A and B are shown apart, each in its own frame.
Chain A
Amino acid sequence: MKKNFRDFFIASDKEQGGTLKDHVSGLRRYVSQIKPNFVEGGRFSWLQSTFEAFESFLFVPDKTTRKGCQIRDAIDLKRTMIFVVIALMPTVLFGIWNVGYQHFLATAESVSFWKMLGFGLAKALPTFVISYVVGLAIEFIFAQIRHHEVNEGFLVTGLLIPLVLPPDIPLWMVALATAFAVIIGKEAFGGTGMNIVNPALTARAFLFFAYPSCMSGDKVWIANLPDATTGPTPLGLLANGSTDLPSAWTMFWGGIPGSLGETSKIAILLGAILLLITGIASWRIMVSVFAGAIGMGLIFNVIGATPYMQLPFYYHLLMGGFMFGAVFMATDPVTAPQTNTGKWIYGLLIGIFAVMIRVINPAYAEGMMLAILLMNVFAPLIDHCVVARNIKMRQKRAKTNSKTTTK
């Protein structure tokens, strides 16, 4: 056993040199064989990034750190992204079913579970495919032009974009928004890890301002809505001055119209638990977003000037995309602050602004998207202030310490 193990390492060392041992799998051998075509000087060297992307998709990358002494975390970007994708699965599945459920509820037909799921799948699957195809195509082109590796960041973004859009969104709009988000939101700043604002929310904001009739109102939240009926979201109802809401329990389990992924809070919380256990999302941000919203909701309850302000504060957590944003959007490690104090400030302000925009500005029924985008922009400033304050404090301490010692 021990000998075999050693042999394996020796073999893989030799493999780098060009000889291939028998126990290397057929696929690995094939990939290694065609590899020389894609490296510098090869026939298809212009496809190098594409090749690398697929190679590292199949096998663990053989890259090692060259300069300095560094520790590589076993959980690299690819594993992180896969965990987020797994965490999103409950919302995806529930969202697909809910599209069918809401449609047949609106048409007053009673059909089987599988028919609802099938209808939802027919409606939702194309949006996922379009978002992935368009986004990945652009990512590959940019990686190729810039001789970068293709990053895995889009695996999550491509899934998030359809989840924050209404089910009835035209496919060409999904394609356009994805292209806009990837090019302007991400590649213009240098690609994965360099973006200032969350790309999925950039896509949503683009559609929200470009095609408001497809992104708001009471007609778009249920797929193939029959004429002469409406299907407003709870937030839409409130923005129009009505307080005739579904029960808190219905909003919690998710049987309400809304964007694909935002309706079921149970499914979102399942994802949140996975993200927190694996340590991928920051618990500080999640907790502080909730705290900010609850605090602002309570303040409005105390003021109580309009029926909207009198709404119980926990309704804000259950309506619209608040919880989805808090769990999957605000915690995006690229666009959130890096310092722990900064994360608290960032999260609190997101919660506060989200509720404030909802209640005070009836033009924007959903405040979560705008609150997160706004705080994304301020995240570097928050970090800067936290770091500067820390430096100042330590300088002061150093000064007082040196004074006392000289005395």
Chain B
Amino acid sequence: MSNFKKLIIEPLRKTNPITVLVLGICSCLAVTAKLKPALVMGISVTVVTAFSNLIISCLRKGIPSRIRIIVQLVVVAALVILVDQFLKAFVYDVSKQLSVFVGLIITNCIVMGRLEAFAMSHKPWESFLDGLGNGLGYSLILVIVAFFRELLGAGTLFGYRVIPQSFYEAGYMNNGLMILPPMALIIVGIIIWIQRTRHPELQDNNK
């Protein structure tokens, strides 16, 4: 049981796909200006990673190794289309905000990375948990970044005003830089900084 727990908990911390493996940065910059799209994006990627890991792991013994990338892509593409259709049907406004980035989940390095690194060599249940864990690790960072960007950039959370009007009357202003993609990179950088200070074993030793 502890093994399964490890598969889910570790990607949230010491093997986090964004802050440790530094994968999936592009979508992290693109969809985190607001909390809601970031959360939906996180859930979508989690679903795709978990189920593609599961499916590929079931098929892993039957896939010829020379064409495995194509097979993986077909599975991932099918799942992404499902997610895309689902979002269009049930949360159309968010789907519109995310626009092309839902389709681009297929190129998300985390998905392919987990398939190659884990699902091709592990049993289905473990692979499913691994996909789930990595998807959640990705979502966690996305939500943290989006929280700060929306709070400081627009003064809202999930679209509701959080910073009271009296602050604005006293001279407070929304930070326009938070809306711009570079700030997402800087926030991710700060998270990495804090994380590596707390876990010195993650620091590169090139001295």
Tell me the bound Cα distance from A184 to B186 in angstroms: 8
Q: Which residues of B lie under 8 Å from residue A212 when comparing CB positions?
A: 176
Interface residue A59 (Cβ < 8 Å from any Cβ of B):
no
- Check B171 for interface membership: any CB of A closer than 8 A: yes
B176 A188 Cβ-Cβ under 8 A: no
Of B171, B175, B189, the residue contacting A210 (CB under 8 A) is B175
Chain A residue at minimal CB-CB distance from B152 = A210
| Residue of A with least CB distance to B171 | A170
A213 interface neighbour in B172, B173, B178, Cβ under 8 Å? B173
Contact B193–A211 (Cβ < 8 Å): no
Q: Give 1 or 0 for each of B167-207: 1 = CB within 8 Å of chain A CB.
A: 00001110111101000001001100100000000000000
In the complex formed, the residue of B with least CB distance to A172 is B171
Cα distance A211–B177 in the bound complex, in angstroms: 8
Residues of A within 8 A of B180 (CB): 209
Q: Per DSSP, are chain B's interface residues mostly helix, strand or loop, or mixed?
A: helix
**Chain B interface residue number, banded:** 10 to 19
Q: Quick one: closest A residue to B172, CB to CB? A: A172
Alpha-carbon separation in the docked complex, A170 to B173 (Å): 10
B175 partner residues in chain A, CB cutoff 8 A? 210-211
Residues 190-212 of chain A: 1 if any B CB is under 8 Å from the residue's CB, otherwise 0? 00000000000000001001111
In the assembled complex, the CB of B200 is this many whole angstroms from the nearest CB of chain A, namely 13
A73 and B6 alpha carbons, distance in the complex (Å) = 56
- Report Cα–Cα, A244/B180, bound state, in Å: 34
Does A88 count as interface, using CB distance less than 8 angstroms? no
A214 at the interface (CB under 8 A from B): yes
A211 to B178, CA, bound (A): 10
Q: Is the interface of A mostly helix, strand, loop or mixed?
A: helix
Complex Cα gap A206–B177 (Å) = 7
Q: Is the CB of A209 within 8 A of B173?
A: no
Instruction: Judge whether B178 and A188 touch: CB under 8 Å.
Output: no
Given contacts A172-B171, A188-B193, contact A210 B186 (CB under 8 A): no
Indicate if the CB atoms of B193 and A210 lie closer than 8 Å: no
Cα A305 to Cα B135 in complex, Å, equals: 54
Q: A151-185: which residues lie under 8 A (CB-CB) from chain B? A: 170, 172, 184
Which residues of the other chain, B, contact A214 by a CB distance below 8 angstroms?
A: 173
Residues of B within 8 A of A206 (CB): 177
By the criterion CB–CB under 8 Å, are A211 and B171 in contact? no
Neighbouring A residues of B172 by C-beta, 8 Å: 172
Mask: chain A, 208-234; 1 = CB below 8 Å from B; 0 = not: 011111100000000000000000000
| Contact indicator B186/A211 (Cβ below 8 Å) | no
Q: CB-CB < 8 A to A188: which residues of B?
A: 189, 193
With a CB–CB cut-off of 8 A, which chain B residues contact A184?
A: 186, 189-190
Chain A residues whose CB sits within 8 angstroms of the CB of B190 once the complex forms: 184
CB distance from A134 to the nearest CB of B (A): 17
Q: Which of A351-376 contact B (CB under 8 A)?
A: none
A170, A188, A210, A212, most chain B CB atoms within 10 A: A210
How many Å from the CB of B18 to the closest CB on chain A?
Answer: 18
Chain B residues with CB under 8 Å of A172's CB are: 171-172
A270 to chain B: closest CB distance in Å?
35
In the assembled complex, the Cα of A209 lies from the Cα of B178 at a distance in Å of 9
Residues of A within 8 A of B176 (CB): 209-212
Interface residues of A in 301-333 (CB under 8 A from B): none
Q: With A and B bound together, what is the CA distance between A210 and B175 in angstroms?
A: 5
- How does the 8 Å CB contact mask read for B151-175 relative to A, with 1 for contact and 0 for none? 0000000000000000000011101
| CA distance in complex: A183, B176 (Å) | 19
Q: Nearest-CB distance from B173 to chain A (Å)?
A: 5
Compute how far the CA of A7 lies from the CA of B174 in the bound complex, rounded to whole angstroms.
65
Closest to B193 in A: A188
B173 adjacent to A211 (CB under 8 Å): yes
Minimum C-beta distance from B115 to chain A (A)? 34
Instruction: Chain B residues near A170: list those with CB within 8 A.
Output: 171
A213 to B176, CA, bound (A): 10
Most buried by B among A172, A184, A209: A209
For B177, the chain A residues whose CB sits under 8 A away are 206, 209-210
- CB neighbours (8 Å) of B193 from chain A are 188
Q: How far is the CB of A324 from chain B (nearest CB, A)?
A: 23
Name B189's closest neighbour in chain A (CB-CB): A188
Give the docked Cα–Cα distance between A188 and B192 (Å).
11
CB neighbours (8 Å) of B171 from chain A are 170, 172
CA distance A214 to B189 in the complex (A): 27
Given contacts A172-B172, A210-B178, 13 further A-B contacts (CB under 8 A): A172-B171, A184-B190, A188-B189, A206-B177, A209-B176, A209-B177, A209-B180, A210-B175, A210-B176, A210-B177, A211-B176, A212-B176, A213-B173
Give 22 pairs: A residue, B residue, CB < 8 Å, sorted on A: A170-B171, A172-B171, A172-B172, A184-B186, A184-B189, A184-B190, A188-B189, A188-B193, A206-B177, A209-B176, A209-B177, A209-B180, A210-B175, A210-B176, A210-B177, A210-B178, A211-B173, A211-B175, A211-B176, A212-B176, A213-B173, A214-B173
6 pairs of A and B residues whose beta carbons are closest in the complex: A210-B177, A209-B177, A210-B175, A210-B176, A211-B173, A170-B171
